[in-house]
Amino acid sequence: MNRIFASLLYKLLPGRCVICKAPSHRQIDLCQACEHELPTTPSPCAQCGMSCLAISNHDQICGTCVAHPPEYDRTFCAFTYVSPVNLLVKEFKNGHNLVFGKVMSQVLAKKYRATLVNRPAPHLLLPVPLHKNRLKLRGFNQATEIAQVISDTCRIKVNTRACSRHKENVDQKKLPANQRKSNVEQVFTLNRRFNGYRVAIVDDVITTGSTVSALAELLRQHGASSIEVIALARTPKR
């Protein structure tokens, strides 16, 4: 019913592309030309999501992950965090432009659904939580907004109550890479077991991977059988 209503709504009120402002002529506020031009990561490592020229198929992992495996098993990011994606994400988070977030999340969800054709979907989506003070200041959790779109598209449940952020640490983007790991140590709390569960951590941007690694380590300790990371974008460098 929701899809039928959305289709009728777009016929009555045609969407406009959030990038070029032209009519999108689709059930998304993004024209096909602009979607095609959005930057993606070439030859991404299946485990960390970073570009690796030695990789020839989507199941391969890079030498860094072979030598130093991260806490999570897979990473899927729809875009590379360069212009115009970085501007769209900043406007989504800091400008409170939820339309931008929804549009990017719709593209992410569509691409992610295509990866589930030959493998089992996660049992649940776990958005990276914000501390209550930051949530109050921003008014929404961007990871939850992204996860909800993925849930609607891929029919995977979202759990926003299993994990909390009990420590208000310094914003990761304000720190150099060598300080980010220690900044997120012991900031998350899980209130349930995940024995045998396939869990997908959802976030907006992956940079060093410190935040999702800290949460993935905690999920391992609570019994998760596999952990993957889903995000809008991956920075081109760690």
Model pLDDT for residues 161-178, shown as the tens digit of each residue: 999 998 776 555 554 555
CA 117 to chain centre: 19
Report pLDDT for 5. Answer: 47
Report pLDDT for 234. Answer: 97
Alpha carbon distance 193, 9 (integer Å): 42
Report pLDDT for 199. Answer: 98
Report pLDDT for 3. Answer: 53
Which domains are seen in the chain, by residue range? 9-38 (no CATH), 39-234 (3.40.50)
206 phi/psi in degrees, rounded to 5: -105, 125
Alpha carbon distance 141, 57 (integer Å): 33
Report pLDDT for 25. Answer: 86
Strands 226-234 and 74-80: parallel
Residue given tokens 């930057």 in the structure block: 39
Alpha carbon distance 102, 223 (integer Å): 32
Where the chain has pLDDT below 70, the residues are 1-14, 169-185, 238
Alpha carbon distance 132, 211 (integer Å): 17
Alpha carbon distance 114, 161 (integer Å): 28
The model's pTM: 0.88
Report pLDDT for 56. Answer: 85
Report pLDDT for 1. Answer: 43
Report pLDDT for 182. Answer: 56
